[in-house]
A and B are shown apart, each in its own frame.
Chain A
């Protein structure tokens, strides 16, 4: 099937494993990895005479098909680059970051500069003066991943760590883990065997704020076949969401539109109905939980603090009736009541983990309310489960079959002789970076990358830490560190004179690169070797995969583009020049590391065979015994205690009670609905900024990646009268009409934090008063200073960097109010000639 001048290679990307076809050294085609039927022995799930088997091909997410566009993008960083007016021996002009252009330098010059700067900063201020961060979703890999090359290098040298919180599932980390433990996955329950559980025993699937078919990153588009199977089995699907999302339009029997930020109120009303009608599992609550009612409270707690008392209004005088919830959520009370009846009458799969509802003010309350609802229906019972939008649905995953696992297991650190914990204990919570740099000293609680214990939330941090320095150098692995809220705060930091040097190593010149003094070109996964298991991120989040389980060798499909190097090569060379080469590599070549990683597996092929073939598909073992999340706990709670003080599901959290007392308005011991600090009911803001901004993920970008891929952009960007491709802002017809806007208009979207331009798209798929503008568009500010109008429409100009609550220093990006008005493009073009011509756009290297 191959033409004689084409060669087929294997690799794995963030959108799934694939075959890359290469001709004369260039990729000419990318197709889903697929197998012949006689190559595989698949698992099967049989229900009511219908059989599900995983497909012989891995359906890819969109962007993989456009690989040629991004691998060969004109926005690749092809050579090391230096900002023209950054002179480490003279004037550094930090104020010109984002303004001045770049010149190509050689790798030799780059390494000389990097080593000199590292040495100078470390000698002058100490290792803690270097702040390091990483892009949370770089190219897929295991050896080539920040847990591997980046952590090893910077932990060995020591650096201050820029701490992002899990972001993808903030509310679950901060809320659910306090109820059932699972701190290792930061509040996410294991995925294993959930596919069988839903298929066999769930009769109702409630999607609460989730769009799994299009945002199942890493696993490709694998859930639609599952939903189709479930529909064929007669399972009903309900979507509760401010946006009628793609999963809903494809598979939901009913869409229940809800005002953003009010999910916990609807949950409370469902609990109220169940309590009123006795439609819940009191026996399970008695034996498996604490805190539901006054009869099951921990000792020494004052009376009246139970969940039931809150719901019935015995404490605050407000019964959480469906009529009460209707006024808050806009969901008719009769619909809440009917949903409650249906939910209680059927084993229900609640899909709520991850999702936008957990990235907003007090999102831990939403997560805890969801866990409580499922606890009331016997979480762990056949068909009663909690599922998430990504990496959370899994079929047979046999632990006897050892694969290369995933990126979070540490890559080379997992097979090295020496492991280096970070020499520097100082950290900065990413939301607080600007405050730390501009106004030290600073103290705060929590807000770490690994919130893997209750204590992590109340651990106090100080900057600068005793014995540590303020930060004077920033180093990012990957551009667009993550998609931090309130981007203008980050820009201010990057232009601060205290930051003497800023380095970014990235495949594409975008966003954060534009503020760096030195930009280093790195490879994409097509240009390097690696070894991974698709859809597995290692022990961080348990394996989740409903395709054929496989291991993939990332063959080097093409030579590195330009002079790009792998991050591992860059760090190895730097270590060498710093006299730490042996400590970093232990004498291992890239191939040596891969062989050692491969040796940890029990794949029945030699390394060379595996490398040559490119993949291995595990056969389904016939004696596999499924065991889904919470199943053992459900069957025998005494001998399968959870990692909570009581060993039970703590609807009343003893940890939270101990940390915050009985009446903390931001985090009471049992879940509450708490109105957001910037939401529909924030009286002091809602008149000025009457629209709630929804930040559902971009469909055709991976966060900020692939924004420049025309084949993707032409599906969603809105061409203005000036020909510029504007980011879409979706609005309801009446919300647009009230502002004199029509479909296709270019509008200015603004609040006190920032302003952007966006193209208006009218839709019926939104709740009134909500506009959907997402993040990740590469910034195109009309002026170089923070706060400038962003022509590219990145919503993170508008989002708050405020911590979601006293309890968690995590992001609340969806808690954002804005106003929208028609933009005068001609006036803007006249007022900002340089900016309009693209001088400050973040992909401009000139």
Chain B
């Protein structure tokens, strides 16, 4: 049983996976696995988002496709028994059996099933099962990836990841099989300097403590005075800045959201 795995940090947002998917499936029928994908639909889609404020901006590229769920709501919702799981774990929608009722589309929490108005059926990623059946080692999206961000991995490789592996929308309880590494997390960034010396302050201890208590997160500024606190789990933090020889500073109740650039933080040199 193989599955797709996306290492988010490695993705550069080229969309080659998305384009290669279209090349394989739009205008090409691969019956009985799938019929042609409709224009304007995305069995593989790179979702782009931007967080933070200049210059601490983070661009997230997230490859979203069928998650090949163990408890697939689409299978449960389909009333014409058109959705089936192969022995290799790949879930397919039989283009001949699909009635076009679209119950699966409503049931899928990932929004990755599309209704094809030309053929009046529901469609989604097939993991290029027609190619795997011919002996290809991986689906087209994986071959097209220039950075090895998207890979096609064995179950054993997934198990070996232990705590690193993540899943999209685990709260939906569909037991998705596509694995993600390094999903976007909130961050708190800024830049510390000494205005009287016009100096970037390196080695400032930045401590973020959840408002209302909890474990603090600590980072140090780099040679540009830049810092970025990751692994944030609370909605708001009190943040302190300390460096020997400088008056410390505290900023209270910073609401993080998806990302927060608090901009310039001034520390004054002790007299």
- A: which residues have CB within 8 A of B? 1-3, 28-32, 34, 57, 59-60, 62, 65-68, 213-214, 220-222, 224-225, 228, 244, 246, 249-250, 253-257, 323, 332-335, 337-339, 341-342, 710-712, 714-715, 732, 763-767
Contacts and interface: CB of A to CB of B under 8 A. Distances in A.
Contacts of B223: 338, 341-342
B193 interface: yes
A68 B222 CA distance: 48
A764 B23 contact: no
Interface string B218-249: 00001111100000000000000000000000
A826 B24 CA distance: 40
A31 B28 contact: no
A298 B220 CA distance: 50
Given A228-B10, A249-B57, A338-B200, A765 B50 contact: yes
Contact of A256 (B14, B55, B145): B55
Identify the 4 closest CB pairs spanning chains A and B, nearest first. A59-B146, A221-B146, A65-B19, A249-B59
A333 B146 contact: no
Contacts of B10: 228
Interface string B145-182: 11110000000000000000000000000000000000
A224 B147 contact: yes
Contacts of A30: 23
B134 A3 contact: yes
Contact of A257 (B18, B55, B148): B55
Contacts of B26: 711
B13 A765 contact: no
A543 to B, nearest CB: 21
Nearest to A27: B23
B137 to A, nearest CB: 9
A333 B198 contact: yes
Contacts of B222: 253
A28 B223 CA distance: 53
Contact of A29 (B24, B147, B224): B24
A254 B225 CA distance: 11
B224 A254 contact: yes
Contacts of B116: none
B16 A62 contact: yes
B58 interface: yes
B12 interface: yes
Contact of B143 (A57, A62, A228, A246): A57
B54 A244 contact: yes
A65 B40 CA distance: 16
A67 B23 CA distance: 8
Contacts of A67: 23
B12 A65 contact: no
Contact of B135 (A1, A222, A335, A712): A1
Given A65-B144, A341-B223, 12 more contacts: A29-B23, A31-B143, A32-B143, A65-B20, A66-B19, A68-B23, A225-B146, A257-B54, A338-B224, A715-B15, A764-B57, A766-B54
Interface of B: 10, 12-16, 18-20, 22-24, 26-28, 39-40, 50, 52-55, 57-59, 134-136, 140, 143-148, 193, 198-200, 222-226
A249 B28 CA distance: 35
Contacts of B22: 65-66, 711
A334 B140 contact: no
B259 to A, nearest CB: 10
Given A66-B23, A225-B146, A763-B50, A334 B200 contact: yes
Contacts of A253: 222
A334 B27 CA distance: 57
Nearest to A6: B134
B4 to A, nearest CB: 18
A341 B223 CA distance: 10
A711 B144 contact: no
Given A31-B143, A335-B200, A764-B50, A65 B13 contact: no
Given A30-B23, A62-B14, A763-B50, A335 B224 contact: yes
A845 to B, nearest CB: 22
A1 B143 CA distance: 14
23 contacts: A2-B134, A34-B143, A59-B16, A59-B144, A65-B22, A68-B23, A214-B12, A221-B16, A221-B147, A249-B58, A249-B59, A250-B12, A255-B57, A257-B54, A334-B193, A334-B199, A337-B198, A710-B40, A714-B40, A732-B54, A763-B50, A764-B50, A765-B57
Given A255-B55, A335-B200, A224 B144 contact: no
Nearest to B52: A764
B270 to A, nearest CB: 19
Contact of B146 (A224, A323, A339): A224
A764 B53 contact: yes
Nearest to A68: B23
A249 B11 CA distance: 10
Contact of A711 (B19, B28, B224): B19
Nearest to B201: A334
B146 A220 contact: yes
B135 A764 contact: no
Contacts of A732: 54
